[in-house]
A and B are shown apart, each in its own frame.
Chain A
Amino acid sequence: MEDLIFKYLMNGCSNEEQESLQKWIEESDENLRLFSSMQLLYLSQTLPGSRADTKEELELFKAIREGSIRSRERKVFAPKYLLVASIAILLLLNLFINFIPFNRHYVDSYSAVASGQGDSYNHTLYTENGVKGYIVLPDSSKVWLNSGSKIIFPDKFSGKRRVVKICSGEFFFDVVSKPDTPFVVQTNFDMRVEVVGTAFNIRAYSVDNEIQTSLVSGALTLIKGTQIADKEEVAHLQPNDSYLVKGDNSSVLIKNSQVVSTQTAWRRGELIFEETPFEKVIQSLTRWHGTTFYIDDPEILNFKITASFKSASIIEIMEMVKFCSPIDYIINENSITLQKRK
């Protein structure tokens, strides 16, 4: 029977021979095993090593590429809406949960300061990574603190100015209008902001080495130096202006309401990335969620991400990142390891 198997494999055999071979195979699993082994073995030893590079074969490959690109686009279409819908539901839930910690995590550590302002106390409010804060100042002005931010303010404003000091971080101020007592924000970048009554955002993380001030309403003056004596005005902002000063002292005035909206998105619980290098994305996520990131391949830092999230959990965000970039992630308690997908 083995001879018949070889005959079938090498040359093929007549219908009658095939039928008797078939019957023999169906007699026992041992017969089937022998036939199956010999067929696979013969195949493996006669695989052609020739290359496929005729015109027709290259055309077929082109068709495969294009065909699969088309089917891939179709496939992505449906889940995208599913994804949006499911995230929207999660976000609504998140919104409620996210707002509770505002007060609960509000850490108010008092530090007595002997200053020229008599026996007033300075309060320091800071937010850890992953936590946001909100405070009403003695003059009823409101301040929202993004994660990893620190502000120092007195328990009562006295004198001709209302002065607060920010150390590092991102803040949104909604300042009560008092025309005869300007509101002054001293920053950690040798610069101060003077306003009368406005709403504005300052992003001044020390690690970013840049300070960006965005005006939502009212008027705002940027002044070099933090002392009252310093009077060199850097810029006057109109509503929807954004002013960015980089570490090398280069500066740019951006007149674009979209930028202001993006800058203040954090207060609405939104995280927005626009062509943002992954290095910055990681910084944002570290602050936003208090997550530590480990990176397998430095090339990851060069990828750019464009996406926006609203009160999304870190897992939702990482799933989206995975979806729109060649980056994969492993979550381990409060740290995330990033890998380039193979």
Chain B
Amino acid sequence: MKLRKKESRSNSYTAQYVEECYKTHLHKVVRFAYTYLGDANASYDVASEVFTILWERRDSLDFSEDIVPFLMTITKHRSLNRLKRLRVRNSYEKGIYNSNKAALEMNYRSLSFVGSMDIFSKEVEQIIYDSLEEMPESVKNTFIMSRFRELKYHEIAKIEGVSIKAIEKRISTALKILRISLKEYLP
């Protein structure tokens, strides 16, 4: 049997999509993994696994669709795998990971509890915009600076002329409001 793969013309476009996707979303994937793993190296390892999968499946993916929930789903599974391995290792290498043991347990349980990754979908944006109106003015401004301008808390504190603690308090308030309006997207 003879067999030769014919590269289709569309393949070079798909490769570009994947590269663009990598550039746009790598930091998000790394942040996701880091939140649960608390280890920068491991987070980059997970991210490279995630984008390897994206690369290999590029022909069957629809890049016009919202790709972030898809990326985050893979990231979740990959991160969970690592957490599971760390837990097993922790159980017989007593003492080595003690300082992180509580965090590891919490993060493992927390991530296992997470289902859908739709919280990362574009449709959530609109709900967030609507929720802004429910927030007190100062909370709203602080949240916008943090969420959309990606300013650090100390930067916002400087602009607002209040303490970092006060900014953290405002962000907490904003998150509590969002937790209610986004409850369908949360565990």
Q: Which listed residue, B28, B103, B113, touches A33 by the CB 8 Å rule?
A: B113
- Give the CA-CA distance A84 to B150 in the complex, in Å: 56
- Please count how many residues in chain B sit with their CB below 8 Å of the partner chain's CB atoms: 60
Q: What is the predominant secondary structure among interface residues of chain B facing chain A?
A: helix
A8-25 CB contacts (< 8 Å) to partner B: 10-11, 15, 18-19, 21-22, 25
Q: In whole angstroms, how far apart are the Cα atoms of A288 and B150 in the complex?
A: 63
Contact with B along A287-326 (1 / 0, CB 8 A): 0000000000000000111111100000000001001111
Known contacts being A18-B102, A51-B23, A84-B1, is A342 close to B179, with CB within 8 Å?
Answer: no
Q: Answer whether residue B94 sits at the interface, using C-beta atoms and an 8 A cutoff.
A: no
Q: Given A15-B102, A18-B102, A61-B51, A342 and B62 touching (CB < 8 A)?
A: yes
Chain B residues with CB below 8 A from A72, complex form: 56
Interface centre among A11, A33, A57 (most CB of B within 10 A): A57
A16's closest neighbor in chain B, by CB?
A: B102
**Which residues of the other chain, B, contact A325 by a CB distance below 8 angstroms?**
5-6, 8
* Contact A42 B120, CB 8 Å, known A37-B186, A64-B55, A342-B60: no
In angstroms, Cα B99 to Cα A37, docked, is 24
Point out the residues of chain B lying under 8 angstroms from A49, CB to CB. 27, 150
CB of A46 within 8 A of chain B?
A: yes
Considering the chains assembled together, what is the distance between the CA atoms of A142 and B104 in angstroms? 80
- Among A137-186, those with CB < 8 Å from B are none
Please, how many angstroms separate the alpha-carbon atoms of A214 and B129 in the complex?
73
Q: Nearest-CB distance from B131 to chain A (Å)?
A: 11
- Chain B nearest CB from A12 CB (Å) reads 8
| Surface stretch bound by A, among B83-91, B134-142, B155-163, B170-178 | B170-178
Give the complex CA separation of A84 and B2 in angstroms: 10
B2, B3, B62, B153 pick with most chain A CB within 10 angstroms: B3
Instruction: Point out the residues of chain A lying under 8 angstroms from B109, CB to CB.
Output: 25-26, 32, 36
Say whether A41 contacts B27, CB under 8 Å. no
A39 neighbours in B (Cβ, 8 Å): 35, 107, 110
Q: How far is the CB of A56 from chain B (nearest CB, A)?
A: 10
| Chain B hits for A25, CB < 8 A | 106, 109-110
B55 to chain A, nearest CB (A): 5
Residues of A within 8 A of B187 (CB): 33, 36-37, 40
* CB of B26 within 8 Å of the partner chain: yes
Minimum Cβ distance to chain A for residue B178 (Å): 6
Contact between B1 and A307 (Cβ–Cβ < 8 Å)?
yes
B130 within 8 A of A: no
Q: A19-B102, A43-B35, A307-B3 are in contact. Are A53 and B23 (CB under 8 A)?
A: yes
Contact A41 B102 (CB under 8 A): no
Say if the beta carbon of B41 comes within 8 Å of chain A: no
**Chain A: minimal CB distance from B143 (Å):** 8
With contacts A39-B35, A306-B6 known, what are 4 further pairs, Cβ within 8 A? A6-B168, A22-B105, A25-B110, A33-B187
Between-chain CB contacts (< 8 Å), 17 pairs: A6-B168, A22-B103, A25-B110, A26-B105, A37-B183, A38-B175, A39-B35, A43-B32, A45-B175, A50-B27, A52-B24, A63-B48, A65-B15, A324-B3, A324-B4, A326-B59, A340-B10
Interface residues of A (CB under 8 A from B): 2-3, 6, 10-11, 15, 18-19, 21-22, 25-26, 32-33, 35-53, 57, 60-61, 63-65, 67-68, 72, 80, 83-84, 87, 303-309, 320, 323-326, 340-342
